Amino acid sequence: FISPCPSPLPTNTLPPYLPSHQSLHSSRGYVHNNNNNNTARKRSKMAAATKGPLASLANQMVVIFGGSSGMGLAAAAFSLRLGATVHLVGRDEAKLADAKGQLAREEGAGEDDVLTSSVDMMSEEKVEAFFEGMKDESVNHLVITAGNGAGGGMFMDTPLENLRRQFDFKFFSAATVIHHANKKMAEGGSITLFSGALSRRPGKGSALLASCNAANEALAKALACELGPRLRVNCLSPGLTRTPQFSRMPDEAQEKMFEGFGKAIPAGRSGYPEDIGHAVAFLLTSNWVTGTVLDVDGGALVRQ
């Protein structure tokens, strides 16, 4: 698990959707609220408390690939707050069950508010079977956060097989999901892909992931043209975010990485899954946003 922030962030650094009384923990890539009374709030109260530009997702289905932890789990929480039913998809049944339980405890989600399915995105047969089990036009929004990395390294020293694996992990798996999800998508819905800042600000040793991120961004723009106006398609590009992706790193190395990134960017801190979940909610509810790459990176692209 990722170690929690050593101390609560200063109030002036907290995003408005994270009240200052909350402590931020990232062991599951999601906020844990120490106030049990707030944790037990029902979804109806949360939906009613969500004010501003984010529209309601009531009576809508949001399918999230990679929804068992991190950014995907945070996106599920925000969707629930807006009234949606969420369907979490991942490979690990135990993690999916854990995620469902967490949403029940922390978001007041009922048994029928959160569905889960174990599906290997790398298997087209399994992805196809998953969507075949759904009714046509039953999915309003599709979010694809999943996509493991195949490692880094200098391009000329890296076997080309690693490049193929990287594209299999993050590009072709997402493309497969979209291909089979299309006829199950309801008119007026949306698709959200994920990329990363390396697509436009690569560095040495990042060629594999940078090129794959760029491919996802190009796919989102092209599909926005092909599928609009029936569906909107966007790509979210997150900066360095505290998620279970880094759980294999020693705690000290994680904190050094996160703190170093925070000091290098205008926002002054690394990201939290909730930052990304809030941005996903914006893309799901903004009916005039399509073909866009949304940077949620604390200003990483403009850092000096």
* Residue-wise pLDDT tens digits, 254-303: 999 999 999 999 999 999 999 999 999 999 999 999 999 999 999 999 98
Which range has the worst mean pLDDT, 2-6, 131-135, 259-263, 287-291?
Answer: 2-6
- Of the pLDDT bands very low, low, confident and very high (cuts 50, 70, 90), residue 15 is low
Which range has the worst mean pLDDT, 42-51, 218-227, 244-253, 278-287?
Answer: 42-51
pTM of the model: 0.84
Can you read off the two tokens belonging to residue 178?
């979209």
Q: How far apart are CA 251 and CA 263, in angstroms?
A: 18
Q: How far apart are CA 153 and CA 64, in angstroms?
A: 30
pLDDT at 116 over 70: yes
Q: What is the largest CA-CA distance in the chain?
A: 55
- Of the pLDDT bands very low, low, confident and very high (cuts 50, 70, 90), residue 149 is low
Q: How far apart are CA 131 and CA 45, in angstroms?
A: 32
What's the average model confidence in pLDDT over 138-166? 88
Q: How far apart are CA 164 and CA 248, in angstroms?
A: 24
Q: Which helix (H) or strand (E) holds 153?
A: none
- Identify which of 88, 42, 43, 44 has the alpha carbon closest to the alpha carbon of residue 62: 88
- Of the pLDDT bands very low, low, confident and very high (cuts 50, 70, 90), residue 55 is confident
